[in-house]
Amino acid sequence: TQRTLVLLKPDAVRRSQVGEIVRRIEAKGYALVALELRTATPELLAEHYAEHEGKPFYQPLVDFMLSGPLVAIVLEGERSIEGFRSLAGTTDPTGAAPGTIRGDLGRDWGLAVQQNLVHGSDSEESAAREIGIWFPNL
Residue ranges of the annotated binding site are 9, 57, 85, 91, 102, 116
Is residue 116 a contact partner of residue 102, using CB atoms and an 8 Å limit?
yes
* Closest-CA residue to 25 (of 114, 136, 120): 120
122 binds ligand ATP per the rule CB under 6 A: yes
Classify residue 118 as left (phi > 0), alpha (psi -120 to 50) or beta: beta
CB atoms within 10 A of CB 81: 21
**Chain residue whose CB lies nearest ligand ATP:** 91
Contact between 119 and ligand ATP by CB under 6 A: the answer reads: yes
Indicate if 52 belongs to the active site: no
Do β-strands 31-38 and 2-8 pair in parallel, antiparallel, or remain unpaired? Answer: unpaired
Q: How far is the CB of 32 from ligand ATP (least distance, A)?
A: 20
To ligand ATP, the closest distance from the beta carbon of 25 in angstroms equals 16
Regarding 61 and contact with ligand ATP (CB under 6 A), the answer is: yes
Helix axes 80-88, 18-28, angle to 10 degrees: 140
Segment lying near ligand ATP (by CB under 6 A), choices 27-35, 67-75, 111-119, 128-136: 111-119
Quick note: the x/- pattern for ligand ATP over 66-85, rule CB under 6 A, is --------------------
Q: How far apart (Å, rounded) are the C-alpha atoms in residues 9 and 93?
A: 14
Q: Which of 61, 119, 121, 130 is catalytic?
A: 119
Q: Which residues are catalytic?
A: 119
**Applying CB under 6 A, which residues contact ligand ATP?**
57, 61, 90-91, 113-114, 116, 119, 122
